[in-house]
Amino acid sequence: MLVDILHDSELYHDNYSNMTDEELAAVAKKDHSVLPLLLARFSHVILVKSEVIGGNTVDKDDLRQEGLIGLFRAVNSYDPERGAKFSTYAEVCMTNRMKSYSARQHNERRVPESLDDESSNEELTVKETPESIYLYKEFMTELWENINNSLSNMEKRVFYLCVIDGISYHDAAVKLGVGDKSVDNAMQRVRKKLRMLMHRN
């Protein structure tokens, strides 16, 4: 049974909010209800990176959508035994996913997701302030609530399986007992709604 991810008071219990990024990522891998906490922690990275990578040529909202997916994939694939901090790994995943999208828009080759990618050390040129970081978190919190409220039950299932858990459309179709085309159609609707929500926010 899928967890209905809501921004309720339980998410801010000290047991969660005082966890390290590594501890919270481990919990989020099994319990998606804590994902908004990680999203709040890394929202400023997504928004600042989208400004740096997008420049004046790539839609920032589309980049933020890719950054969001990159964060979810980082939670699902993070292995603390490799020795990297979760913040380092997540930033690489988010950055590379956004750069891959930007490259596709310019018909360039895809950037591989790797901890050895030099882009993880790229300096941010967008000035951050306590006020801007707060606004970034508010932006992502509202966005998450809107995502949760705007997707149909089928779209939520596909979103969790294909975006958060990162499984293939075919495997998602098998789990849901539907055809591959149904999953593909649902995912197209999810992406369209995410794009609309990004622009609205």
Write out pLDDT tens, residues 150-194: 899 999 899 888 888 888 999 999 999 999 999 999 999 988 888
Between residues 64 and 174, the one the model is more confident about: 174
pTM for the whole structure? 0.67
The beta strands (E) that lie in the chain are given as: none
Instruction: Show the tokens assigned to 153.
Output: 């039950």
Diameter of the chain by CA atoms?
Answer: 48
> What fold characterizes domain 151-201?
Arc Repressor Mutant, subunit A (1.10.10)
Q: What separation in angstroms does the CA of 48 have from each of 67, 161, 174? A: 11, 27, 38
Helix (H) or strand (E) holding 23: helix 21-30
Q: What is the pLDDT of residues 71-127, one digit of tens each?
A: 988 998 999 999 899 999 999 999 999 998 888 887 654 444 444 444 444 444 445
Class of domain 9-129: mainly alpha
Domain boundaries of the chain, sorted by first residue: 9-129, 151-201
Closest CA to 51 of 95, 14, 4: 95
Sequence-distant (6+) residues with CB within 8 A of 200 are 146
Non-local (6+) Cβ contacts of 147 within 8 A are: 159, 193, 194, 197
Q: Which of 171, 189, 173 is nearest to 181 (CA)?
A: 173
